[in-house]
Amino acid sequence: MHSNRVHSFTLYRMTFPKLSDILEIIDKKYSFSISEKWDNSGLQLGEPANEIRRIMVALDPLPAVIDEAISLDCQLLVAHHPLLFTPLSQINGSTCVGSSVLKAARNNLAVIAMHTNYDIAEEGLNDLLASLIGLKQTLPLKKTDSAELSKLVSFIPVESFETVRQALLPYTESTGNYIDCSFSCLGEGTFLPLEGAKPAIGTIGNLEKLQEKRLELLVRRDSVSKMVQTLLKVHPYQEPAFDCYPLLNETKVTGIGRVGAFPEPSKFKDIAASVGRKLGCTAVRMVGEPERIISTVALCTGSGGSMITEAVKAGADLFITGDIRYHEARDAEALGLALLDAGHFATERIMVDAVAKFLETSFAHSDQRAELFRSNSEQDPFKNVVIEELN
Ligand SMILES: [Zn+2]
């Protein structure tokens, strides 16, 4: 009576992803290429061909988090802050980073940093905070890049058209809330195969005329080569015809931080209480009049103190961020900008759940599975203490 076991074996033909598969999943949604120039996002440590069965997600790749990941038999730690940031000239076990690298390597634990690529990307950390606190119609606060676009035009025999189109669609640029956009029309192609050619259709020395469809696709400049490589792979012709045009269209701006508005203007103190509660803070720091009515809000997760001028330029009444310094608070006062410092940890720790869910959802659409864990060991290093309660 072994039928149950055989049955379940056939039902669950799941495989474990490789580290390179997970990098690809992350890169597709939160492209590492949009990171700030000074940043070091991406694969920090690990062998891309290694199988990943268990993944831990954390804000910081702290020694305690690395221990936690190893004790749970994880093969990958996905963290927001990079483990390796400044270039190392030695991996010295007596330094904090060095010993973490050595320990992770010894225990076959890979490390990926989803840092400013995740801050900047749509549906990344800044969008996550904006939607958590209820901001609507947000735009990037500070531009980091604008995507240059191209148009790829190719000519495909009618019977192969849909196969080629489907293969190329994943590389197209979205237009607002529309994806998989393409244009096509019917026409006539001609060619005359010469001696040595191996035509898919037609014969050497005879002029061929046949119905082809012209396919037009919008593509980011940095994805053109991937799209062309795919076209050459799937197109039935030996020498497919295609044109690639650079476009002067206004392109989509990517940026860090967000600016938007609440559906209804509210008092600063009410916003502070609501944001603080949603982020699990025991206290927040406020600069500005608590009764002030706030309409437009800028935010930047983590340390946003350097973006006070951008917040003012964007017309914000309030700037929500973490790590505000004394003179930055003074600048904001002088500029008439209210500040809400909810802490670096609290404004960014929300990534743990979101990234774990993102990876779980990505696996749900494939035949690959890895188990996801959220780090329990990391805490805000700052504790708000009421002095009277210290005794
Ligand atoms: Zn940070």
Ligand 1 centre from 301 Cα, in Å?
7
Distance from the CA of 142 to the center of ligand 1, in angstroms? 16
**How many whole angstroms from 128 Cα to the centroid of ligand 1?**
14
Spacing, Cα 347 to ligand 1 middle (Å): 9
> How far does the centroid of ligand 1 lie from the alpha carbon of residue 101, in Å?
20
Rounded to whole angstroms, the Cα distance separating 121 from 127 reads 8
Q: What is the reported pTM?
A: 0.77
Expressed in angstroms and rounded, the spacing between residue 348 Cα and the centre of ligand 1 is 6
In angstroms, what is the span from residue 324 Cα to ligand 1's centroid? 13
21 and 100 assigned to the same domain = yes
Render each residue's pLDDT in the chain as its tens digit; 391 residues: 343 343 434 445 689 999 999 999 999 999 998 999 999 999 999 999 999 999 999 999 999 999 999 999 999 999 999 999 998 899 999 999 999 999 999 999 999 999 999 999 999 999 999 999 999 989 999 988 777 899 999 999 999 999 999 999 999 987 777 888 999 999 999 999 999 988 888 899 999 999 999 999 999 888 899 999 999 999 999 899 999 999 988 777 789 999 999 999 999 999 999 999 999 999 999 999 999 999 999 999 999 999 999 999 999 999 999 999 999 999 999 999 999 999 999 999 999 999 999 999 998 888 889 999 999 999 999 999 989 988 7
Q: What is the CATH number of the domain that holds 265?
A: 3.40.1390.30
Measured in Å, residue 302 CA sits from the centre of ligand 1 at 4
Residue 159 lies in a domain: yes
Token pair for 203: 């014969």
Provide the domain limits for residue 97.
Answer: 3-117+350-374
- Amino acid at the residue 210: L
User: How many independent structural domains does the chain possess?
Assistant: 3
CA of 79 to the centre of ligand 1 (A): 10
- Domain match, 152 and 218 both: yes
Which ranges in the chain belong to alpha helices (H)?
3-11, 19-29, 63-71, 96-106, 116-120, 125-133, 161-168, 224-234, 268-278, 308-313, 326-335, 344-348, 351-364
Q: How far apart are CA 110 and CA 332, in angstroms?
A: 41
Q: Does 380 fall in a domain?
A: no
Measure 62 CA to ligand 1 centroid, in angstroms: 13
**Residues 6+ positions from 73 with CB-CB distance below 8 Å:** 53, 54
